[in-house]
């Protein structure tokens, strides 16, 4: 529908004086509210927007402090919904100033004639759902109340400044300013003694400019932030050229990227680079002056792994020490209490150099906390600072502040949102809340919001919501509400996502830690903008999964369920594999499948370094077989784990699970010997099993030679390798040795019977398929032999076997036979522990480089192996918080 037709067909908002009647009420007239109004009108809805401010702009209306700018390059921080608008506006700077962004939003409001439907200077004070009428009633502090079918909160993530928590603010006789509520008149600071409290993004932007004006500036810092030079200037020539060469493609890439800015994923991990190479990449990033660049392009592990992150954090601290002359001030400015990126990093212009000025003093509140504000200034527990002006750059009650400030929001059954959110925000997709029909939040908690280019996230949310309202209207539905199941599932998915990044390791406004008494937890969605978009699309394509839709003349529709049950990174991997449209492995034949696997593995980054890696040959059942040995960097001798790789007895070799062996070698502090046992169909059953046993025996007899501890070995294996490990334990028991101290069975094949629910539920779509398992069995073992315990160990005698740790994955055809084996072991009196990995698939734990959520499982596996070997447990700093995530047992 064209704009003109849509607007003509839209019924006009009506008012009975006390109440304004509209289809949709939008609260907020910033980036989100403006685009909403435009889309709603175009879709033929009557709509009103309400804003406390006296003009459009939202963030950019309120934040007028010196130095206020965006920190995403402005060519990316723009609307993209209308290509004509996109090319009609030219930004003058790489990072535009607040006045320019405000002019842009005014330009947008004029271009689409939006102001006529905005009630400025009006605050929405509370909202109540009228169940009988299926409408929201909004009360305002200025003029008519509003009755609307749908209530959309475009109230902003950073729009409620945090009130100062310091005693005595009212006693201060000088001037007080808040960066988030800066006055519209000129603020004269020249010749004055100014205090700035707070060194987050706003403080860091304002401090250098205030220092230039003030007679003296005292900066009160509680938490140091990482800041990078913006290198501001004209819009970046590279990015502008990219945009202009293919505007649609550029914008589309941003929509599907992780942060809403079109950068590809970082191709390398830190340990693949030398110190010099890392430094070179870092210097390039430092010179680029782009937060998204440094957060995404340095090395892939910097945002997800403590060790990878420590490298970049230290390089930034080195820069700070190089700029700030006074070592004590430099040390105070150097963040040491959070990983880089886990707290919002800042872009600066001369921030650190400002501390070299003679008129600037830094006060480290970790050493001398503020005790009060007095009539003449600020008092710490050590000193008094007399000042004329205090600037509070203390940030916002982020993400939930503006939503909760509308109080009460009363939903179905008289429930209040603030009660429902008392222990932290609950939502479905960050867009809706169960119990609050027809209420939508734009960039609400649970969506990528502040971890993204918000312009992109806002457009995605607005489009999704307005498309849904249109679809509802067409189908005759008048109410939509998230189900409790969907909402709980989203909370679980959010928790899973939060293990992907390092945000959980810092106390920040992302987690609510900056507001006393606020419930703690990572509020924004950390799974990325592109994955989030695909989930929202999937909700629609699966029949509005997780929503209940009702209407006066249609049957209610409720397709209940959880939208994401896979771990977030597993979902990404499976989607990537699906997009590659690979031929089924079994269709390639053994040689083709092996070549495919070798090529697939070659494209993956090498595993992490260990102390030593060496190759050799050992005595198999029928001649020598190769092995690869991974030795820890710690002094030996170490216990030895005999490892059997996966590959369905047909594929793989002693090198193919290299990243997993390295990771486990590092975590356990044990030697891993990966055995190159023989494969079918060239060497059918029982060749692999017999090689497994022979290799274990040989290794047990050569522990000293291999640098191992003179003690029983352990065995471990994944998939068909898990099968060989299990069988080896049975053969060792029955053949008089060697002694085995414990077995780690990772997604093992334990039985030839496919008649299990996991084979039916996960037959296709999770990498290991039922047809592929059929093929593996056919390549290795003739039907007549399949019940032999040397290939179906579940059918063997289980008493007297070594203690076991059995790992199964929820989305794996082999899940139920692994569980059956663990239960059968326990029933036979074998000490056994199970780890049922929720949301994981067959290859999750061996895809060390891409399935980050596999860390928690590997931590548990390593603990089990150390326990079996009688070693003490030690928690690595890098594993902090990872142990209990994503696991069901």
Q: Which residues sit at the interface with ligand FAD, rule CB under 6 A?
A: 27-33, 50-53, 58-59, 61, 63, 68, 70-72, 77, 123-124, 154-159, 202, 402, 405-406, 442-443, 453-455, 458
Cβ distance to ligand FAD smaller for residue 21 or 159: 159
* Shortest CB 831 distance to ligand FAD, Å: 53
Q: How crowded is residue 107: how many other Cβ atoms within 10 Å of its Cβ?
A: 14
Residue pair 330/321 in contact by the 8 Å Cβ criterion? yes
* Shortest CB 466 distance to ligand FAD, Å: 15
* Shortest CB 751 distance to ligand FAD, Å: 53
* Shortest CB 544 distance to ligand FAD, Å: 24
Residue pair 504/151 in contact by the 8 Å Cβ criterion? no
Cβ distance to ligand FAD smaller for residue 397 or 569: 397
Tokens found for residue 523: 């509020």
Cβ distance to ligand FAD smaller for residue 457 or 487: 457
User: Reduced to 3 states, what is the DSSP secondary structure of residue 322?
Assistant: helix
Q: How crowded is residue 321: how many other Cβ atoms within 10 Å of its Cβ?
A: 15
Cβ distance to ligand FAD smaller for residue 112 or 649: 112
Report the chain's C-alpha Rg in angstroms: 31
For 623, the enclosing helix (H) or strand (E) is strand 623-631
* Shortest CB 745 distance to ligand FAD, Å: 47
Among positive and negative, which fits the CA dihedral 685, 687, 692, 694? positive
Cβ distance to ligand FAD smaller for residue 59 or 223: 59
Cβ distance to ligand FAD smaller for residue 395 or 652: 395
Q: How crowded is residue 145: how many other Cβ atoms within 10 Å of its Cβ?
A: 17
* Shortest CB 12 distance to ligand FAD, Å: 22
For 228, the enclosing helix (H) or strand (E) is strand 227-229
Residue with tokens 């809340």: 433
* Shortest CB 463 distance to ligand FAD, Å: 14
Strands 19-27 and 14-15: antiparallel
Residue 615 φ then ψ, to 5°: -110, 150
User: Packing angle between helix 454-475 and helix 529-541, nearest 10 degrees?
Assistant: 0
Q: Checking phi first, is residue 266 left (phi over 0); if not, alpha (psi -120 to 50) or beta? A: beta
Cβ distance to ligand FAD smaller for residue 77 or 821: 77
| Dist. CA 593–CA 181, nearest whole Å | 63
Cβ distance to ligand FAD smaller for residue 445 or 722: 445
Cβ distance to ligand FAD smaller for residue 273 or 405: 405
Residue pair 448/461 in contact by the 8 Å Cβ criterion? no
Q: What is the 3-state secondary structure (H, E, C) of 457-475?
A: HHHHHHHHHHHHHHHHHHH
| Dist. CA 785–CA 787, nearest whole Å | 6
Interior/surface letters 794-810, b for 16+ CB within 10 angstroms, e for the rest: bbbebeebbbbbbbbbb
* Shortest CB 108 distance to ligand FAD, Å: 12
Closest CA relative to residue 729, chosen from 665, 642, 857, 816: 642
Cβ distance to ligand FAD smaller for residue 533 or 866: 533
* Shortest CB 494 distance to ligand FAD, Å: 20
Strands 175-178 and 389-392: parallel
* Shortest CB 165 distance to ligand FAD, Å: 19
Cβ distance to ligand FAD smaller for residue 454 or 651: 454
Furthest-apart CA pair in the chain: how many Å?
A: 95
* Shortest CB 529 distance to ligand FAD, Å: 11
Closest CA relative to residue 390, chosen from 171, 195, 211: 195
């Amino acid at each position: 529908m064209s704009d003109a037709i849509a607007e003509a067909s839209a019924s006009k908002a009506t008012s009975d004086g006390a109440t304004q009647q509209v289809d949709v009420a939008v609260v907020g007239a910033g980036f989100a509210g403006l685009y909403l109004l435009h889309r709603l009108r175009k879709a033929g809805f009557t709509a009103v927007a309400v804003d406390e401010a006296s003009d459009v702009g939202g963030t950019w209306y309120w934040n007028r402090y010196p130095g206020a700018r965006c920190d995403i390059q402005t060519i990316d921080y723009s609307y993209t919904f209308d290509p004509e608008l996109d090319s009609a506006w030219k930004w003058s700077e790489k990072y535009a100033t607040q006045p320019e962004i405000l002019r842009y939003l005014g330009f947008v409001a004029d271009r689409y004639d939006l102001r006529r439907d905005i009630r400025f200077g009006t605050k929405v004070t509370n909202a109540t759902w009228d169940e009988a009428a299926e409408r929201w009633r909004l009360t305002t502090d200025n003029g008519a109340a509003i009755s609307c079918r749908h209530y959309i909160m475009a109230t902003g993530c950073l729009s409620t400044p945090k009130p100062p928590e310091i005693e005595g603010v009212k006693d201060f006789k000088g001037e007080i300013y808040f960066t988030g509520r800066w006055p519209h008149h000129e603020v004269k600071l020249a010749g004055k003694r100014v205090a700035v409290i707070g060194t987050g993004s706003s403080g860091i932007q304002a401090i250098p400019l205030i220092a230039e004006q003030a007679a003296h500036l005292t900066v009160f810092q509680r938490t140091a932030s990482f800041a990078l030079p913006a290198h501001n200037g004209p819009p970046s020539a590279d990015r502008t050229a990219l945009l202009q060469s293919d505007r649609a493609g550029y914008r589309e890439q941003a929509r599907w990227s992780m942060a809403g800015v079109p950068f590809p994923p970082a191709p390398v991990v830190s340990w693949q680079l030398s110190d010099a190479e890392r430094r070179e990449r870092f210097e390039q990033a430092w010179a680029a002056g782009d937060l998204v660049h440094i957060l995404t392009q340095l090395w892939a592990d910097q945002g997800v792994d403590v060790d990878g992150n420590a490298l970049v954090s230290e390089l930034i601290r080195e820069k700070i020490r190089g700029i700030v002359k006074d070592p004590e001030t430099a040390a105070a400015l150097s963040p040491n209490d959070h990983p880089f990126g886990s707290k919002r990093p800042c872009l600066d212009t001369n921030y650190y150099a400002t501390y070299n000025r003679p008129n600037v003093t830094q006060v480290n509140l970790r050493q001398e906390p503020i005790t009060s504000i007095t009539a003449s200034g600020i008092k710490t527990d050590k000193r008094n600072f007399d000042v004329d002006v205090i600037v509070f750059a203390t940030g916002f009650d982020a993400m939930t502040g503006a939503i909760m400030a509308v109080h009460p929001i009363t939903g179905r059954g008289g429930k209040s949102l603030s009660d429902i959110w008392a222990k932290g925000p609950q939502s479905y997709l960050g867009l809706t809340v169960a119990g609050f029909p027809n209420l939508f939040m734009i960039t609400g908690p649970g969506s990528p919001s502040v971890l993204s280019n918000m312009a992109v996230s806002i457009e995605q949310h607005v489009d999704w919501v307005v498309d849904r309202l249109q679809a509802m209207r067409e189908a005759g539905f008048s109410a939509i509400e998230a189900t409790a199941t969907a909402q709980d599932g989203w909370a679980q998915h959010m928790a899973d996502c939060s293990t992907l990044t390092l945000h959980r390791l810092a106390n920040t406004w992302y987690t609510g830690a900056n507001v006393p008494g606020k419930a703690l937890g990572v509020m924004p969605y950390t799974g990325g903008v592109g994955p989030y978009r695909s989930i929202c699309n999937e909700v629609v394509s699966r029949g509005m999964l997780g929503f209940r839709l009702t209407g006066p003349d249609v049957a209610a529709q409720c397709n209940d369920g959880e939208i994401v049950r896979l771990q977030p990174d597993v979902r990404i991997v499976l989607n990537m594999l699906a997009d590659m449209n690979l031929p089924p492995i079994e269709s390639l034949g053994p040689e083709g499948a092996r070549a495919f696997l070798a090529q697939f593995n070659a494209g993956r980054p090498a595993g992490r370094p260990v102390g030593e890696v060496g190759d050799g040959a050992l005595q198999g059942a029928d001649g020598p077989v190769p092995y690869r040995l991974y030795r820890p960097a710690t002094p030996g001798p170490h216990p030895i784990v005999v490892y059997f790789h996966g590959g369905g007895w047909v594929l793989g070799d002693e090198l193919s699970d290299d990243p997993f062996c390295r990771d486990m070698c590092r975590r356990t502090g044990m030697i891993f010997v990966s055995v190159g046992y023989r494969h079918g169909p060239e060497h059918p059953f029982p060749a692999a099993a017999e090689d497994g046993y022979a290799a274990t025996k040989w290794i047990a007899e050569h522990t000293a030679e291999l640098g191992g501890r003179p003690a029983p070995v352990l065995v471990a294996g994944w998939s068909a390798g898990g099968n060989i490990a299990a069988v080896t334990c049975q053969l060792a028991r029955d053949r008089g040795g060697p002694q085995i101290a414990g077995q780690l069975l990772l997604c093992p094949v334990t039985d030839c019977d496919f008649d299990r629910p996991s084979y039916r539920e996960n037959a296709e779509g999770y990498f290991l398929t039922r047809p592929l398992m059929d093929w593996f069995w056919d390549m290795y073992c003739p039907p007549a032999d399949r019940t032999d315990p040397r290939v179906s160990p579940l059918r063997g005698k289980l008493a007297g076997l070594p203690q076991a740790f059995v790992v199964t994955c929820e989305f794996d055809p082999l899940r139920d036979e692994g569980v059956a084996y663990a239960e059968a072991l326990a029933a036979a009196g074998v000490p056994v522990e199970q780890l049922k990995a929720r949301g994981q698939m067959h290859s999750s734990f061996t895809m060390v480089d891409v399935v980050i959520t596999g860390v928690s499982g590997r931590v548990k596996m390593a603990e089990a192996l150390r326990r079996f070997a009688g070693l003490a447990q030690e928690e690595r700093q890098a594993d902090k918080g990872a142990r209990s995530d994503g696991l069901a047992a």
